[in-house]
């Protein structure tokens, strides 16, 4: 297949290339695509050098799939142009997630909604992906009424600039204002400020958890409230998730459902100090869940601790899995008909 990675020189773009390699996705022709300032640079894919090309050249090449990680404004401008050429776009930005005409997909949860007609498919927010992986089987069984989630998100989710800020601070340097991705230091600090603040005093990241969870689970009645915190962790997001169900449950049955959920790994043995941690989740594709316990303060309440590598399952791996699903279920290959 002819595959384009758009935003290939960015942090997530690099991981997308790595995931495509590791999962042996059938790439016959690889297109390294980025903004004009990166055109002409060289990247490697499967140990082969590729020269970065621009958007217009990539659209003209008519790839089968274009995996985007280039920001919302870029996606809004260019994803429709790729789609018009017959390319299926899998977009990692927030641009299309809440568009009622676009599918928002976590393959293990709702890939069955995809059809050949879907030319722009949205990849959910990293924090939402890992949370709905744990919530989906439980919602089907017990009907979730309310979710209270607090996130502990790696600075890597902000991109290269945040990584450089952290590295400078860790070495004892004070970054210049133009070198700072955040308003304050991130090293040895926690910032309750992910993305920009909205009129309701929540951040965009927090409202993504609210709105995307409802869309993916297909239930607007679920009440969600979130507090998103950026932490000095280099390799994964963690979430404290409190759930209230409409129906009673048994902890043993909850464990069984979580253990049976594809892509989810239960790590939960408090007596042996076994629980998920971002350090252990780094460079892994699974979502990890532990600290599974009844919330004794409300009826039908449950507490979970959910961890995943935000650059992999939270971004690159989920996008590649969508492409794998499309290929496996023969939902690709309409370009000739559209030419």
Domains of the chain in sequence order: 2-95+315-338 (3.40.50.720), 127-308 (3.30.360.10)
228 - beta bridge partners? 151
Contacts of 271 (CB under 8 A, 6+ apart): none
Residue 235's pLDDT is: 81
What is the distance between the alpha carbons of residues 228 and 209, in angstroms, rounded to a whole number?
Answer: 9
Residues taking part in catalysis? 126, 237
Q: Which helix (H) or strand (E) holds 59?
A: helix 55-61
What is the distance between the alpha carbons of residues 66 and 93, in angstroms, rounded to a whole number?
Answer: 13
Instruction: Supply the Cα-derived Rg of the chain in whole angstroms.
Output: 20
What is the distance between the alpha carbons of residues 266 and 335, in angstroms, rounded to a whole number?
Answer: 41
Sign of CA dihedral 203, 228, 191, 296: positive
Residue 339's pLDDT is: 37
Q: Are 295 and 49 in contact (CB under 8 A)?
A: no
Could you give phi then psi for residue 92, rounded to 5 degrees? -90, -5
Q: Are 88 and 103 in contact (CB under 8 A)?
A: no
What is the distance between the alpha carbons of residues 121 and 101, in angstroms, rounded to a whole number?
Answer: 10
Helix/strand/coil for 80: helix
**Residue whose entry in the numeric block shows the structure tokens 């991109």:** 159
Cβ count near 162 (within 10 Å): 19
The alpha carbon torsion through 65, 132, 193, 72 (nearest 10 deg) reads 20
Stretches in the chain below the pLDDT threshold 70: 333-339
What is the distance between the alpha carbons of residues 283 and 277, in angstroms, rounded to a whole number?
Answer: 12
Q: Are 4 and 33 in contact (CB under 8 A)?
A: yes
Q: For residue range 12-53, what is the model confidence (pLDDT) as tens digits?
A: 999 999 999 999 999 999 999 999 999 999 999 999 999 999
What is the distance between the alpha carbons of residues 309 and 313, in angstroms, rounded to a whole number?
Answer: 6
Q: For residue range 250-304, what is the model confidence (pLDDT) as tens digits?
A: 999 999 999 999 999 999 999 999 999 999 999 999 999 999 999 999 999 999 9
């Amino acid at each position: 297949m002819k595959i384009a990675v758009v935003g290939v020189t960015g942090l997530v773009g690099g991981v997308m290339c790595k995931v495509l390699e590791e999962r042996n996705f059938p790439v016959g022709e690889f297109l390294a695509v980025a903004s004009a300032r990166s055109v002409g640079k060289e990247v490697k894919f499967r140990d082969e050098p590729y020269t970065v090309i621009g958007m217009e050249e990539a659209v003209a090449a008519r790839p089968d799939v274009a995996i985007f990680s280039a920001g919302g404004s870029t996606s809004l401008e260019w994803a429709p142009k790729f789609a018009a050429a017959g390319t299926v776009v899998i977009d990692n930005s927030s641009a299309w997630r809440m568009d009622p005409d676009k599918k928002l997909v976590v393959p293990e949860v709702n890939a069955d909604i995809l059809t050949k007609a879907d030319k722009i498919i949205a990849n959910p927010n990293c924090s939402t992906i890992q949370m709905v992986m744990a919530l989906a089987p439980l919602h089907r069984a017990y009907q979730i009424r309310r979710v209270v989630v607090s996130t502990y998100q790696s600075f890597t989710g902000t991109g290269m600039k945040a990584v450089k800020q952290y590295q400078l601070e860790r070495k004892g340097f004070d970054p210049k204002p133009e070198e700072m991705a955040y308003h304050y230091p991130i090293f040895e600090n926690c910032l309750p400020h992910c993305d920009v603040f909205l009129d309701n005093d929540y951040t965009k990241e927090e409202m993504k958890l609210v709105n995307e969870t409802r869309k993916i689970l297909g239930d607007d009645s679920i009440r969600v409230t979130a507090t998103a915190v950026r932490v000095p962790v280099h390799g994964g997001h963690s979430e404290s998730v409190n759930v209230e169900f409409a129906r009673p449950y048994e902890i043993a049955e909850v464990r069984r459902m979580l253990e049976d959920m594809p892509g989810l790994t239960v790590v939960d043995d408090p007596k042996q100090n076994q629980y998920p941690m971002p350090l252990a989740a780094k460079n892994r594709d699974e979502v990890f869940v532990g600290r599974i316990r009844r919330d004794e303060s409300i009826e039908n309440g449950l507490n979970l601790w959910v961890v995943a590598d935000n650059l992999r399952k939270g971004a690159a791996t989920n996008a590649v899995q969508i492409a794998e699903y499309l290929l496996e279920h023969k939902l690709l290959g309409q370009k000739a008909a559209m030419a």
